[in-house]
Structure 1
Amino acid sequence: MHGEVRTTERLTPSLIRIVLGGPGLNNFVMPDDDTDAYVNLAVPPRGATYGPVFDPREVRETHPREHWPARRRCTVRRWNAAARELTLDFVVHGGSGAAGAWALAAQPGDVLVFNGPGSGYHPDPTVEWHFMAGDESALPAIAASLEKVPAHARVVVRLVCDGPEHELPLESPGRLDLRWVHRTEADPAPLLAAVEAASFPGEGVQAFIHGEAEETRALRRHVIRERGVSRETMSCSPYWRRGMSDEQWRSVKRDFVAAMNSEA
């Protein structure tokens, strides 16, 4: 599957929105109700000798490893079924990482190959309390999820970023308690303290915690051990790990997640 770049927009210094369209999306089907849908991108390296529309499996079978596309996961921000347009928000860190570098250079008409979507979470409309926490990498899923929280429910959100210029306006039909915290040299991971200070019950809460690996693990421990949130009503996923490249993180992610999920 593939999409053609329709528009690009710099939302914040660290976030780029790209809208894809074209006949390559004719078979795209969004999972019902889920708000953390993602696609698996195939980003060719510079100097790739194959065309913009390609079969990743065929490339791996017929090209040397240095020409293989990088596989990266990207959260769907919005799917417009009527217009057949797919909106993806990319986190960019100075051009590091295959997906971020592609997004920084993307122009209308460029092609992005991917497969999917996959998903696994949506706000339960019967729940009275929702809790969400994360960083820039979790923003697309959290923003989409907030739009699905019903008006009767309360939703507590704590987000971390590098400064006010990285914040995005977020809205929800639900009763929203949203606070941002900012990283500093003295405190590069202030999210846990912000969550510890937040007011929400443990029982009956549906939780969504995604973002940097160590922060995600610390938040998971807190809401389970200190708040009494059930693991069965929690979506918890580390997207990246501080100090590691994308490839380094991909090589250890499975073991990290298994160890995290085994904790009481």
Structure 2
Amino acid sequence: MSAPARPARPQRVLTVASTERLGPHLVRIVLTGDSLADFGAAEYTDAYVKFLFVDPGLGLEPPFDLAALRESLPGEQQPVTRTYTVRAVDREARLLTVDFVTHGDVGHAGPWAQQAKVGDVAVVMGPGGGYAPDPQAGWHLFAGDLSAVPAIAAALEALPASARGVALVEAELQEDVLDLAAPEGVEVRWLLNPDTSDVDHLARAIDALTWPDDVSEGAVQVFAHGERESIKAVRAVLKRREVPRGAISISGYWARGRTEDAFQAEKRTPIGKIED
């Protein structure tokens, strides 16, 4: 007997309310729509949505019948999804803010964000999520690259005023550095790394920190997300520091040289796994 088909994810049809260039590699898009009134994942600071892209040449109006499209369309016209972390959501005002990392005109989501204008339509599915900073943790470590900035920024804003810790954010260019609000006891440090082949840059900075004497669960909490190979190196440092696995939220958000489709497929293979 075949397994029952998973129910289709609801699609939220939204329109662009505003766009803003934050830096050479960052574009902020604010979306609006009545379906945001019941946008979930309020308890998570790493909430994410999946943007759905369907070939505009098909002339279809959203929401889309994805099952029918996937059955009928050739490979090059198949719908694609791209995952992005939510920077902020205002359910009452029906506004969803998403920051896109962009690198030229390759891909789907980045080029769309660079060219988006007020009134353009976007289709998103979700949200999902799984992390929020523990207000009782004695020390917080946030680490990642530009792809993790929305979640790190949201987490910093959710911390109590008494929180202590460090946020390390890796970027290629000074022009991509943002002013992130944080409690007085949480240092925000940007790590400029123009050498994209140096995947250990973030891990070295983490290892060089002055760590608390007590790294037991509850004493520290770690959020580390970003490029896959960089995060593998970070995981090795955390294991050497004997940070309990239960105190760590860690994953690769993307992999250099891979489309999201290839990246997601590799998650089930040895190269795609980040060791526990």
Q: Would you say same fold, with TM above 0.5?
A: yes
Aligned CA-pair RMSD: 1.9
SS of the equivalent of 1:194 reads helix
Change (3 A) 1:133 1:256: farther
Number of aligned residue pairs: 260
CA-CA distance at 1:192 after TM superposition: 1.6
Is contact 1:37-1:117 (8 Å) kept? yes
**Structure 1 range deviating more: 175-184 or 246-255:** 246-255
> 2:22 and 2:85 mapped to 1: Cα distance?
16
> 1:121 and 1:113 mapped to 2: Cα distance?
24
TM-score, scaled to structure 1: 0.91
> 2:109 and 2:166 mapped to 1: Cα distance?
30
Change (3 A) 1:135 1:260: same
CA-CA distance at 1:250 after TM superposition: 2.3
Residue identity over aligned pairs, in percent, reads 42
SS of the equivalent of 1:2 reads strand
> 1:78 and 1:55 mapped to 2: Cα distance?
28
The answer as to 2:34 corresponding to 1:19 is: no
Matches within 5 A, 1:85-164: 85-164=95-174
CA-CA distance at 1:52 after TM superposition: 4.6
Matches within 5 A, 1:51-90: 51-90=61-100
5+ residue gaps, structure 1: none
Give the corresponding residue for 1:214: 229
> 2:85 and 2:236 mapped to 1: Cα distance?
25
5+ residue gaps, structure 2: 1-11
> 1:94 and 1:168 mapped to 2: Cα distance?
20
> 1:70 and 1:253 mapped to 2: Cα distance?
17
Is contact 1:7-1:107 (8 Å) kept? yes
CA-CA distance at 1:122 after TM superposition: 0.1
> 1:6 and 1:199 mapped to 2: Cα distance?
43
Is contact 2:51-2:123 (8 Å) kept? yes
> 2:152 and 2:196 mapped to 1: Cα distance?
27
Change (3 A) 1:257 1:34: farther
Give the corresponding residue for 2:14: 3
TM-score, scaled to structure 2: 0.87
Matches within 5 A, 1:145-184: 145-173=155-183, 175-184=185-194
For residues 192-247 of structure 1, the C-alpha deviation after alignment (integer angstroms, 9 at most, x for no partner) is: 2211111222232100000000110110110122x221110111010111232333
> 1:111 and 1:254 mapped to 2: Cα distance?
33
CA-CA distance at 1:257 after TM superposition: 7.7
- Identify which of 42, 47, 50 aligns with 2:60: 50
> 1:209 and 1:42 mapped to 2: Cα distance?
26
